[in-house]
Amino acid sequence: MLASPDHTVSLTAPAKINLALHVTGRRDDGYHLLDSLVVFARFGDRLSVTKAAADSFTLSGPYGAGLPADDTNLVLRARDALRRQHGGRATPVAIHLEKHLPIASGIGGGSSDAAAALRALGALWDIDASLTELAALGLLLGADVPMCLHGEALIARGIGEKIERIAAFPRLPMVLVNNGVTVSTPQVFSALTRCDNPPLPALPPLTSLAEVCAYLRQTDNHLFAATQKLAPSINGSMQALIDTNPLLARMSGSGGTCFALYSDDAAADAAARRLRQRQPAWFVVATSSTMEGN
Ligand code: C5P
């Protein structure tokens, strides 16, 4: 987190990647029980908050025009929720969001922005809230907000709010691809044909990329078939990734962003270059997952 003397706090809202996502049950309120192995990418949106004379919210970046700047935006809902809890300290603030992540695309853009807003405003307003308190507030904004607050390799259970951090996890060179399709998460969950899948296999200590891939091959993304039905063009994204000969290719979250893992950064960069040449209009990014402490 970058804090400057002019009372600005800036931070990255990273892309969230569900390396594996098992749907293990359904709650009475309709939410689904998940078991998901999640990492965060170095690539994401940029959020900055500055003390100001009056509240404002501005958007920029390649996907900035696709989002409402009104108080339905998760960033402003996060601001308002934190302000309700800590009224006295919550002075007016100018918030700017540089949107680099495609909207409604399974890599947690909105949730990650909300988590970044909670962290940035907590710092700007000097609010002494623990991660657990912020996560409880974040859960009211969306099931993925608590995991985005953690921002490091983790297993998420429950509806996503029961989080177990993974102490050490290898850095994963990867490419993210989205062909422009937007996917409605509630529709994907509604289209599931079964919700009683087995949980993820117990996670052994994973110290190398090869071990991560061997583990992931025993897992799945149980939302994939439902997303394929609702948005068949996702098959094109997946095939394009497979054509680059990655170690593994899979969809993240409810899609439509797909990711692929590569043996090193050079292989990920080369795959991204090839994909961009073939599909100049697609979102294609070579990045890697963050490791603890980075
Ligand atoms: O919590 P969030 O608003 O991000 O979730 C969007 C929708 O996705 C929910 O309204 C629900 O339909 C579905 N969902 C679910 N089970 C989860 C997370 C989300 O059914 N664990």
CA of 79 to the centre of ligand 1 (A): 21
Query: 131 alpha carbon to ligand 1 midpoint, in Å?
Result: 22
Res. 35: pLDDT tops 60: yes
| Token code pair at residue 77 | 């809902």
Tokens read off for 108: 């947690």
Domain tally, the chain: 2
Residues 41 and 135 in one domain: yes
CATH of the domain at 56: 3.30.230.10
Asked which of 129, 147, 165 is the last residue of a domain, the reply is 165
Residue 104 confidence (pLDDT) above 80: yes
What is the pLDDT at residue 293?
Answer: 43
Question: Separation of 149 CA from ligand 1 center, angstroms?
Answer: 17
> ipTM > 0.90?
yes
Q: Is 192 in the pocket of ligand 1 (CB under 6 A)?
A: no
Mean pLDDT to the nearest integer, 241-245: 98
Q: Both 147 and 272 in a single domain?
A: no
Alpha carbon 196 to its chain's center: 24
196 is catalytic: no
- 197 shares a domain with 152: no
Q: Where are the alpha helices (DSSP H) in 86-223?
A: 109-124, 131-139, 145-150, 185-190, 209-216
**Position 237 in a domain:** yes
| Probe target for ligand 1 pocket from 185, 187, 188, 194, with the most ligand atoms within 8 Å of CB | 185
Question: What pLDDT is recorded for position 248?
Answer: 98
15 Cβ neighbours under 8 A, 6+ residues apart = 40, 41, 43, 44, 101, 107, 108, 109, 112, 176, 257, 287
Residue 225: helix, strand or coil by DSSP? helix
Query: What's phi and psi for 83, nearest 5 deg?
Result: -65, -40
Could you tell me which residues are beta bridge partners of residue 18? 38
Ligand 1 and 185: CB distance under 6 A: yes
The closest residue, in CA terms, to atom 21 on ligand 1 is 159
Question: Which residues are bridge partners to 21 per DSSP?
Answer: 36, 221
Closest residue by Cα to residue 257 from 177, 169, 202, 143: 177
159 alpha carbon – ligand 1 mean position (Å): 8
- Grouping H, G, I as helix, E, B as strand and the rest as coil, residue 174 is strand
147 and 22 in one domain? yes
229 catalytically annotated: no
Nearest in space to 31 (alpha carbons), one of 250, 190, 151: 190
pLDDT attached to residue 89: 80
Task: Give yes or no: residues 81 and 105 share one domain.
Answer: yes
**Locus of tokens 């099931």:** 143
Residues 164 and 199: beta-carbon distance below 8 Å: no
Query: 179-208: buried (b, 16+ CB within 10 Å) or exposed (e) per residue?
Result: bebebebeebbebeeeeebeebeeeeebee
Decide which of 165, 195, 228 is a domain's last residue.
165
* Nearest-angstrom CA–CA distance, 145 and 134: 9
Q: Are residues 155 and 186 in the same domain?
A: no
Q: Is the pLDDT of residue 85 over 50?
A: yes
φ, ψ (nearest 5 deg) of residue 274: -65, -45
Residue 252 contacts residue 109 (beta carbons within 8 Å): no
276 within a domain of the structure (yes/no): yes
Q: Which residue reads 């009224």 in tokens? A: 87
Q: Is residue 75 part of a domain?
A: yes
Mean pLDDT of 12-40: 97
Q: Cα(156)–Cα(39) distance, rounded to whole angstroms?
A: 11
Query: What's the confidence (pLDDT) of residue 3?
Result: 61
Q: Residue 88, annotated ligand binder?
A: no
- Which pLDDT belongs to residue 5? 58
Output the CA torsion sign for 87, 88, 89, 93.
Answer: positive
Mean pLDDT value across residues 251-266: 98
Q: 56 labelled as ligand-binding?
A: no
List, for residues 120-175, the tens digit of each pLDDT value: 999 999 999 999 999 999 999 999 999 999 999 999 999 999 999 998 999 999 99
Q: Which atom of ligand 1 is nearest to the CA of 34?
A: 21
The answer, yes or no, to whether any atom of ligand 1 lies below 6 A from the CB of 35, is no
Residue 248's contacts (CB-CB under 8 Å, 6 or more residues apart) are 213, 216, 217, 260, 261
What's the pTM value of the predicted model, to 2 decimals? 0.96
Q: Is 233 labelled a binding residue?
A: no
Instruction: Work out the number of other CB atoms within 10 angstroms of the CB of residue 1.
Output: 11
Same domain, 119 and 185: no
Exposed, middle or buried: residue 161 (CB in 10 Å: 0-12, 13-18, 19+)?
middle
Q: Return the best residue to mutate from 32, 35, 145, 254 for the ligand 1 pocket (most ligand atoms within 8 A of CB).
A: 32
Residues forming beta bridges with residue 286, ordered by sequence position:
175
Decide whether any atom of ligand 1 lies within 6 Å of the 293 Cβ. no
Q: Is the pLDDT of residue 294 over 80?
A: no
Q: Is the CB of 142 under 6 A from ligand 1?
A: yes
| Residue of the CA atom closest to atom 4 of ligand 1 | 142
Measure 189 CA to ligand 1 centroid, in angstroms. 8
189 ligand 1 Cβ < 6 A: yes
Residue 293 lies in a domain: no
Whether the pLDDT of residue 6 is over 70: the answer is no
